[in-house]
Amino acid sequence: MVRPVQEDARGIVMPEAGLAHFRLDRYPPSPDVARFVDRYWVATWDLRGRPPYTQQVLAHPVVNVVFTDGTALAHGVKTRIDARTLSGAGRALGIMFRPAGFRPFLTGPASAITDRVVPLAELFGEPAAELSRRLAEAVGGQEMARLADGFLAAIVPPGPQPCELTTSIAERAAADPSLVRVDALAAGAGLGVRQLQRRFADHVGVSAKAVIRRYRLYEAAEQARLQRDVDWAGLAARLSYSDQAHLSRDFSALLGMPPQRYALACRA
């Protein structure tokens, strides 16, 4: 089930401020495509007569393919916070893959495109350009998502892929905030730690430790956004940080401010 952004804003820095400047709709993939794709998202904005708006994003540790302004780009996993500036009026369609879900469409390891942006035509040739043209003519987000889903349904591999086990392992880490150790994640999957590390480098593009850390910080950011009075010491303990100061340092290193200040900024 695809949850609306109001219920799950993980990855969007200070989402309430952003949603005053753009609209974000989400659509589910078809069952066959859902083996590799988490969701489609469509951002629309009309800032004509208003200043440009810059939205910071700490994207999920996945590949996003984004179509906008006649471009089609595959964004590898980002290890740092990113920023996107919106101006005038426009829209973008994004295909958010599941962790490791883009690996079948690459000729090499996912780590080769980490922190990189690759033109989709380099991966899929003319069909990618044709899809981009059709999306530009589509009426509304639902039609855009349908066109993208049809494109992917025709190219997804039919048989089981090695990356699909890695997807399930990464999503287990995402769903369980108490799962904070790489060795515990490996043991739960019946793998050795080195096996797990190799899988994540090849299939996801970043380490298992980085994926665990990202989702712990998402949990902290969502609590800061949604709760008026957060028990930071209790949250740090629940996320298996050594203490509140450790959580604050980790949060600040990735989001640029301590969690208490982030909470105040979200409410402002």
Q: How far apart are CA 120 and CA 75, in angstroms?
A: 9
**Mean pLDDT in the chain?**
94
For residue 113, give the DSSP letter: G
pLDDT at 86: 97
Site of tokens 């994540």: 200
The answer to whether 48 and 89 have CB atoms below 8 angstroms apart is: yes
pLDDT digits over 42-54, tens only? 999 999 999 999 9
pTM for the model stands at 0.94
Q: Do 98 and 36 touch, CB atoms closer than 8 A?
A: yes
Positive or negative, the CA dihedral 190, 194, 197, 203 is negative
**Phi/psi of residue 127, nearest 5 degrees:** -55, -30
Q: What would you report as the CA-atom Rg of the chain, rounded to the nearest whole angstrom? A: 19
Please identify which residue in the block is written with the tokens 């043209």. 133
Q: How many residues does the chain have?
A: 268
Alpha carbon distance 178, 219 (integer Å): 11
Is residue 10 over pLDDT 80? yes
Say if CB 176 and CB 212 are below 8 A apart: no
pLDDT over 90 at 35, yes or no? yes
Give the whole-angstrom CA distance, residue 265 versus residue 221: 11
pLDDT of residue 60: 95
Considering all CA atoms of the chain, what is the largest pairwise distance in Å, rounded to the nearest integer? 57
> What pLDDT band is residue 266 in, cutting at 50, 70 and 90?
confident
pLDDT in tens, 67-119: 998 899 999 999 999 999 999 999 999 999 999 999 999 999 999 999 999 99
Q: Which tens digit of pLDDT belongs to each residue from 191-211? A: 999 999 999 999 999 999 999
What does the block give as tokens for 96?
Answer: 């958010």
Structure tokens at 21: 């400047």
Q: Does the pLDDT value for residue 226 go beyond 90?
A: no
DSSP assignment of 24-52 equals EEEEPPPTTGGGTEEEEEEEEEE-TTS--
Q: For position 238, what pLDDT does the model report?
A: 86
Share of the chain above pLDDT 70, in %: 100
